[in-house]
């Protein structure tokens, strides 16, 4: 269970790389990582079907069989920076099938959909990003085994709609 969560987080971190290059940027990167850890621990109101998913940490829910993950987190980045990173970064282990910007539940969001491999399963992935303020975004990640019953994809959709909505 934890392995899946770490796999999802690893894919997320590869997509949204926050590494610094020079000394000043390294110090800023340390501050950003500290803020990221603080934000990731922040509880987010999310509706999850607990008959399908079990809590695996702050705002993270997993299903063992079939493999599926629902995750929401705050990140210390602006919407515009997130947009640039989603446009520029791609990981070879994550095959992007669609990405862009759209409106969801009355909110402008960035999205990326794709396919990844984890623990012998092929997963459909979706990532959404919405601005919270000038320096913070809310990320929603849903991953589900392609062979899973449709109720898992429906549960991800319901969780996504509970998180991404106009304030």
At 113-140, the pLDDT tens digits run 999 988 788 999 999 999 999 999 999 9
Question: Rounded CA gap, 112 and 154, in Å?
Answer: 18
Using a 10 angstrom Cβ sphere, with 0-12 exposed, 13-18 middle and 19 or more buried, the burial of residue 34 is exposed
Q: At residue 148, does pLDDT exceed 60? A: yes
pLDDT tens by residue, 88-111? 766 667 889 999 999 999 999 999
Tell me what pLDDT residue 94 has.
Answer: 82
Structural domains present in the chain: 2-163 (3.40.1000.10)
Q: Please give the Cα distance from 110 to 107 (Å, whole number).
A: 10
pTM for the model stands at 0.81
- The C-alpha atoms of residue 108 and residue 153 are separated, in whole angstroms, by 22
Least confident window among 16-20, 55-59, 138-142, 143-147 = 16-20
**Confidence band, pLDDT 50/70/90 cuts, at residue 36:** confident
- Phi, psi torsion values for 113, nearest 5 degrees: -125, 150
> DSSP states of 70-85 as a string?
EEEEEESS-HHHHHHH
């Amino acid at each position: 269970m934890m392995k899946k969560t770490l796999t999802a987080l690893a894919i997320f971190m590869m997509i949204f790389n926050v590494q610094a290059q020079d000394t000043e940027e390294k110090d800023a990167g340390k501050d950003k990582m500290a803020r990221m850890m603080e934000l990731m621990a922040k509880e987010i109101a999310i509706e999850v079907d607990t008959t399908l998913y079990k809590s695996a940490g702050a705002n993270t829910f997993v299903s063992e069989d079939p493999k599926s993950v629902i995750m929401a987190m705050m990140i210390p980045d602006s919407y515009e920076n997130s947009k640039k990173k989603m446009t520029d970064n791609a990981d070879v282990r994550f095959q992007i099938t669609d990405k862009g910007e759209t409106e969801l539940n009355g909110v402008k969001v960035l999205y990326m959909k794709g396919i990844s491999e984890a623990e012998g399963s092929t997963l459909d992935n979706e990532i959404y990003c919405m601005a919270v303020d000038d320096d913070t975004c809310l990320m929603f990640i849903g991953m589900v085994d392609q062979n899973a019953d449709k109720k898992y994809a429906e549960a991800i959709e319901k969780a996504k709609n509970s998180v991404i909505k106009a304030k």
